């Protein structure tokens, strides 16, 4: 038992260092064994029990490493703490193993209320430990993001994307921002959700990086091509790009999205 070995270490304080080290080593072994037994128990109580066992083990190890630099009184105090931790850990794990007088947990909250019991391997009635996992909106969004992103950022499926179109206006020419604004209004009037990046003091590179990070499936760039009467339509996932005449841009984008 860990307590017996810790007690043996206590009484060996006046003996040689190697005897004390041996006693401490046996105490460490017993506390590690207690942690292994705890892994077969219920998660939350087991974590508390093995946490106490681990702390006791650390105290014992600290005492063993300090033999040459500390007097018997300080070692005795450390071993006393280790013995207390070992006692608590072993008592808790023994309780878990027996299944008796377990503290109430959320896993048995409703089982207790409904008096749900089953026969264990010994033919003894025990309360069912219940488990559940709710698929909420935030968890679903996290799962989608994890399964669809790439090295540049998010790649939202259109069904859950925060917007249908991400319009990026680049450069400093006021005409670019006016054209981007008109396109955004036309797309909103067509029933689409639009994210419009109209930051005037941010470089095109940062805007493009942000667009990839945000991951709206359709990106429209209004920039230098406006001088030639075109805007760029880009698919976020495939990176496929094509130029669209400004006059036809809203209708073409709407058709591509709704196709």
* Residues 179, 185, 189: CA angle, nearest 5 degrees: 145
Class of domain 2-98: mainly alpha
Give the pLDDT score at 258: 86
- Which of 34-43, 76-85, 113-122, 245-254 is predicted with the least confidence, judged by mean pLDDT? 34-43
Record: fold of 139-258: Rossmann fold (3.40.50)
Gap between the Cα atoms of 5 and 83, Å rounded: 9
Computed over its alpha carbons, how large is the radius of gyration of the chain? 33
The model's pTM: 0.52
pLDDT in tens, 165-191: 999 999 999 999 999 999 999 999 999
**What single DSSP character describes residue 160?**
G
| 172-207 core/surface letters (b: 16 or more CB in 10 A; e: else) | eeeebbebbeebbebbeebebebbbbeeeeeeeeeb
- CA pair distance 232, 8, nearest whole angstrom: 80
Confidence at 259, pLDDT banded by 50, 70, 90: confident
Give tens-digit pLDDT for 100-158. 555 545 677 788 888 889 998 888 998 888 776 677 788 888 899 999 999 999 999 99
Domains 2-98 and 139-258 share a fold: no
Domain borders along the chain are 2-98, 102-132, 139-258
């Amino acid at each position: 038992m860990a307590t017996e070995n810790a007690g043996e270490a206590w009484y060996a304080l006046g003996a040689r260092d190697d005897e004390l080290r041996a006693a401490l080593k046996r105490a460490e072994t017993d506390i590690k064994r207690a942690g292994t037994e705890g892994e077969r128990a219920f998660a939350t109580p087991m974590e508390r029990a093995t946490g106490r066992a681990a702390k006791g083990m650390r105290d014992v190890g600290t005492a063993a490493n300090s033999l040459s630099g500390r007097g018997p009184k300080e070692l005795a105090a450390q071993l006393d703490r280790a013995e207390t931790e070992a006692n608590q850990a072993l008592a808790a794990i023994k309780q878990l193993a027996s299944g008796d007088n377990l503290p109430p947990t959320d896993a048995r909250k409703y089982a207790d209320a409904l008096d749900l019991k089953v026969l264990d391997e010994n033919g003894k009635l025990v309360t069912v430990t219940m488990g559940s996992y709710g698929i909420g909106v935030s968890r679903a969004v996290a799962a989608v993001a994890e399964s669809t992103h790439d090295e540049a950022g998010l790649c939202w499926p259109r069904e859950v994307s925060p917007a249908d179109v991400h319009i990026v206006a680049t450069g400093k020419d006021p005409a670019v921002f006016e054209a981007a604004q008109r396109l955004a209004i036309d797309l909103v009037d067509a029933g689409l959700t639009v994210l419009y990046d109209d930051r005037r003091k941010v470089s095109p590179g940062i805007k493009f990086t942000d667009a990839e990070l945000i991951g709206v499936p359709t990106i429209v760039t209004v920039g230098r091509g406006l001088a030639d009467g075109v805007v760029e339509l880009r698919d976020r996932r495939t990176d496929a790009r094509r130029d669209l005449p400004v006059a036809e841009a809203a209708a073409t984008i709407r058709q591509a999205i709704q196709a």
